[in-house]
Amino acid sequence: MTRPIVKIIDLSALRQNALAAKKMAGQAKVWAVVKADAYGHGLFRTAKALENIVDGLALIEIDSAIRLREEGWQKEILMLQGFYDAADLTAFIQHHIQFAVHDNEQIEVIEAVCQRLPEDSTFDLYLKMNTGMNRLGFKPENYAKAYHRLKKLPQVRQIGMMTHFANADDANNSVLPFAEQVKRFKAGSAGLEGNHCIANSAAILEFPEVDFEWVRAGIMLYGATPGIKSAKDFHLIPAMSLESKLISIQEINPGDAVGYGSQFVADKPMRVAVVACGYADGYPRVAPTGTPIIVDGVKTRTVGRVSMDMLGVDVTDIPSARVGSHVELWGKNLPVDEVAEAAGTIGYELLCAVAPRVPVQEKE
Ligand SMILES: *Cc1c(COP(=O)(O)O)cnc(C)c1O
């Protein structure tokens, strides 16, 4: 017997979402963003599913990038956070892995490494601009200088230009509107030769005019959204379902409480069921009473605090519910975005957080 919880990854949903991204991106090539183990979907299975659809993989983790090459990934690879030391850089060049450059310290390392490299040991990179996010990148006014400094190196072949949006999902943000970042990016990169890559999922979905030569599609590949509309509105299909079963049912009376802290108190006779899923499986402990959940195909709500290995659900109005009934924590019938919203977070975090102890099943 195994504990009934399972994470099901739908490979055909991944493919269909990638095809949708391709189509929306028009002429632009698509980086499939597969950091964080492909947002919890499994890096290698996702890479394999998307191999014939996308143009490259973008990620953060160095070991994973090198393993992708060792396992035969032939298309482009881009390291979104670049390298952390000269050894990383040397490995990237050796494995034909592109990388973001966001700081002068990195340029110094590149110059030093290039001094020892043969001139025909060429590589491509992306130069990152800080257009207002104030995380990584060169300010627009310093950008061309960094570009020309890199361009001088004989080994540097193509320099792509990238920036990242703070508010592609909230275009009219009063502090930093989407259009302002686009304007700064265009000003800072004016006259420089190379590919431009600025669109994330939110921009691909809402602002195709900034797709340029390459886009970076992340959350949309997994059938969730960056906080705009719902995945369904864009014909995206949830690629991950977290499912489990009921393992107990309690009949409770008015005044009876459920779970740690006795935070939920019944005000009428109720049937409360226990699901084999808790925060140690990656379900958010902060999800309050009332978080949506599906039991036996019927949408209901969680009750009480989420425990480490279980959580409570209200099955008062689901007479068919019994031990062994099917539970969908999120997936095809319950968008992860809805659960995330109830828990005060975003779908990204829930997808990435499913714990290693949860078994994975693939669906073709
Ligand atoms: C994660 C990431 C993306 C993908 O963002 P989504 O909102 O998931 O599409 C794109 N670019 C960079 C630099 C990222 O770190």
Q: 58-72, 220-234, 321-335: lowest mean pLDDT where?
A: 220-234
| Contact criterion met (CB below 8 Å) for 79 and 216 | no
pTM of the model as a whole: 0.97
Ligand 1 center from residue 64 Cα (angstroms)? 17
Query: Catalytic amino acids?
Result: 35, 260
- Which residue puts its alpha carbon closest to atom 14 of ligand 1? 80
- Which residue puts its alpha carbon closest to atom 15 of ligand 1? 80
Please name the helix (run of DSSP H) or strand (run of DSSP E) that holds residue 352, with its range, or none. helix 347-353
**What is the token pair recorded at 126?**
């992306």
Atom of ligand 1 nearest to the CA of 219: 8
Ligand 1 center from residue 320 Cα (angstroms)? 42
Atom of ligand 1 nearest to the CA of 164: 13
Ligand 1 center from residue 218 Cα (angstroms)? 5
Amino acid present at 127: L
- Residues 27-49 have pLDDT tens digits of 999 999 999 999 999 999 999 99
Closest C-alpha among 313, 281, 312 to residue 300: 313
- Which residue puts its alpha carbon closest to atom 8 of ligand 1? 218
Crossing angle of the two packed helices 86-94 and 104-116, in degrees rounded to 10: 60
Over residues 118-145, mean pLDDT: 97
User: What pLDDT, on the 0 to 100 scale, is given for residue 280?
Assistant: 98
Ligand 1 center from residue 217 Cα (angstroms)? 7
**pLDDT for 2 beyond 90:** no
Q: Taking CB atoms and a 6 Å cutoff, what residues make up the pocket around ligand 1?
A: 33, 35, 80, 164, 200-202, 216-219, 226
Atom of ligand 1 nearest to the CA of 201: 9
